[in-house]
Amino acid sequence: MTGKMVSALFASAMLATPLAQAAEVVLKVAHFWPTAAISQRKVLEPWCEKIKAASSGRMECQIYPSMQLGGTPPQLYQQAADGVADIVWTVPGYTAGRFPSVEVFELPFMARDAESTSRALWAYYEKYGRKDFAAVHPLALHVQDPGYIHTNKRQITKVDDLSGLKIRTPTRVTTKMFTALGATPVAMPMPSLPEALSKGVIDGYILTWESVPSVKLHELTRYHTETDASQPALYTAVFAMVMNKKRYESLPSDLKKVIDDNSGVEFSAAIGRAWDEAGPPARQMAVDRGNVLNMLAGSELDAFKKIGEQVSREWIEEMTAKGLPAQEMYDSARALLQENRR
């Protein structure tokens, strides 16, 4: 076979084999967790695979974990609003007071499991939260698995044990709660926890089981205080996955449909379910290390719940003074939680 014949056959083969097409849309997705966290492995990566498959490869993600696009976790929402990122996943409560509507789900002893609470939260958002998130296009609103108290200095068996302890709190509501419990709250994003704990800047933190091993906190903690699983959780935090509004609106209708089909109540519930499923294995890691676990129940838990009721009353009064229908919002959240309870 001559060189010319080989060249001709090669050219013919190239024409017969379609070249891989670059995606029309590459979405920059930013979050604050490390790559090993459930948020990326069990939620973001599968979600990105779904939208790529559903768009026949026309749309894909480029994920930026651990704040790789710069800034700090509290700035993530604004990064989405400004278009620094196309999609972010963040904690609205990191920006105190900016999202008053969804704070009701962070009140003490509201949530049980993350899946049903996330379903309730999305339904609540559609009724009360659209104004707060008007600068972006929300894809999911969800909560974590139940949150507990984790400490080093001493075990927490009653309210008085918290007196004087410096406890990391993630949101404005939890800061109010732990102030009322006698602790000294220290607000900081989750990625700052390991260093703050190891250097003694804080004596403990409140966090869900799922998040503890994601930054190896079980290796830095001695005591873990849970609450009676038959009761609503001490606390949970609201998370939001949101998209830059102009980026969403610029998509052709068929790609918008791909986003729409993979966002909303079912996506929110699926994220919650991922957290619920990740909680027990994460807890077992603390058990395997020989850390001390105890549970608040009975009269000890009632004392915490009494203070929680006080915090909820104060939240209703505060939001009412700001012109919000706070009692209605609170009652609606409770009704939705009951309606969606598993």
Instruction: Report pLDDT digits (tens) over 17-29.
Output: 444 467 899 999 9
- Same domain assignment for residues 90 and 219: no
The fraction of the chain above a pLDDT of 70, given in percent, is: 94
- Mean pLDDT for 194-199 is 94
Query: What is the residue-averaged pLDDT of the chain?
Result: 92
299: in domain: yes
Higher pLDDT, 121 or 189: 121
120: in domain: yes
The fraction of the chain above a pLDDT of 90, given in percent, is: 85
- Mean pLDDT for 101-126 is 96
- Mean pLDDT for 189-213 is 92
- Mean pLDDT for 79-83 is 97
Higher pLDDT, 265 or 6: 265
Contact between 150 and 202 (Cβ < 8 Å): no
Instruction: Report pLDDT digits (tens) over 138-157.
Output: 999 999 999 999 999 999 99
Instruction: Report pLDDT digits (tens) over 220-239.
Output: 999 999 999 899 999 999 99
- Same domain assignment for residues 267 and 257: yes
- Same domain assignment for residues 79 and 125: yes
- Same domain assignment for residues 300 and 201: yes
The b/e string for 242-281 (b: 16+ C-beta within 10 A; e otherwise) is: bbbbebbeebeeebeebbeebbbbebbbbbbbbbbebbee
**What is the tally of structural domains in the chain?**
2
The packing angle between helices 253-261 and 45-54, to 10°, is 140
Alpha-carbon distance of 276 to 229, in angstroms, equals 13
In the chain, which ranges are continuous DSSP H helix? 3-16, 38, 45-54, 76-82, 114-124, 172-180, 193-198, 245-250, 253-261, 265-288, 298-321, 326-339
- Same domain assignment for residues 244 and 221: no
